[in-house]
Amino acid sequence: MKQGISYQGCIPMRRNPGHRSEMISQLLFSEEFTIMEEDHGWLLIALDHEGSQGWVDNESIQVIESSNEALDMPTSGYRIVTYPSITVLDQKESHQLILPAGSFWPSGSATKIELHGRNFELLSQEGLDTPGRDVDLEEIGGKLLSLPAIHGGRCGFGFDAPGLVQMLCQMRGLQVPRTSQAQSDLGNAINFIHEVAAGDLAFFDNMNGEIDHVGLLLEGGRVLHAYQQVRIDRFDQQGIYCSDRERYTHKLRIIKRIEG
C-alpha cells in the first residue's frame, strides 16, 4: 500500500469523499498514514500512530511512493505543540507554517528537521513540550482554555471532547483511540467517587445511553473538557455542572483510570 505524510498544520479528515462531507477528525503536521482506498481525487487514509480513518483531498498531502524507512511516529524523542499554535519555517516554500496544539515535532531537541526530503525550522522553542508521566496536564490544558469546541477537531484550531483527551493522553505518553466510546473501553473502572484521582477520565452518556462525551478529571472536583469551548467545570457523582448555565450538562456514565 502507498503511504504518505502531512506537511500542513491541519487537514480535515472526512466521513466520505467530498468537501461537503462531515469532518470526523484531522490530519496534523508530520503525521504519517497508509492509503487504504482512492476515489476521484480523494484518499481514504489510516493514521499510522493511532489507526483512525477518514477521507482527505489528495492535493493536500504528500504521497510517498516508495521508501526504505518505516513511516511510523517515533515512540520517543519528539515534542508536542502545547500552545494554541506555534510558527515554523517551511524552507522549501520559504514561508511560515502554523502548527496547532497537538501537532508533533519529531525531534526532542533539534530546531531543524527533515521529513522525507522537506526541511522545516522552528522559529521559537516556546510552546513545545516533551511527553512524560510527570507532565502537568492541568497546566497544559490551561494553555488551551477558550479554544473552540469543533466536531471532529483534535488540535489548536478547535477540539472535540475525545480529541482534547487524546492530545492530553499523548502528553503523558499514552496513545488512546479517537472516539470517546473507544476510549471508554480502556483502563480500569473507578467505582467510588472518593477514589477518583487527577488524570482519570470521566465518560458521559446521552439520552440513548450512548457514551458521547469525555473529560479529564482534575483535583478539587473539576473536569477539563471541550464543550462549546475548552473549559473547566465542576464535577461530581451526577456529572458535569456548568456554572454558566446553572445546571448539569452531562450525565456521568463511568470513570476510568488508564495507565501506561
Residue range 8-50, pLDDT digits in tens? 999 999 999 999 999 999 999 999 999 999 999 999 999 999 9
Q: What is the pTM of this model?
A: 0.94
- The answer to whether 53 and 46 are in contact (CB under 8 A) is yes
Domains: count for the chain: 3
Please give the radius of gyration of the chain, using alpha carbons only, rounded to the nearest integer.
19
Q: Mark whether 183 and 114 lie in a shared domain.
A: no
In a domain, 173, yes or no: yes
* pLDDT above 70 for 74: no
In a domain, 87, yes or no: yes
Q: Which amino acid is at 130?
A: T
* pLDDT above 50 for 79: yes
Domain of residue 109, residue span: 79-129
In a domain, 16, yes or no: yes
- Pick from 129, 149, 167: which residue ends a domain? 129
* pLDDT above 50 for 168: yes
* 153 or 66, greater pLDDT: 153
In a domain, 176, yes or no: yes
Q: What is the structure's pLDDT at 75? A: 52
Cell 492530545, located at residue: 167
Q: What is the structure's pLDDT at 70? A: 46
* pLDDT above 70 for 104: yes
Q: Mark whether 8 and 102 lie in a shared domain.
A: no
In a domain, 164, yes or no: yes
In a domain, 71, yes or no: no
- The answer to whether 105 and 30 are in contact (CB under 8 A) is yes
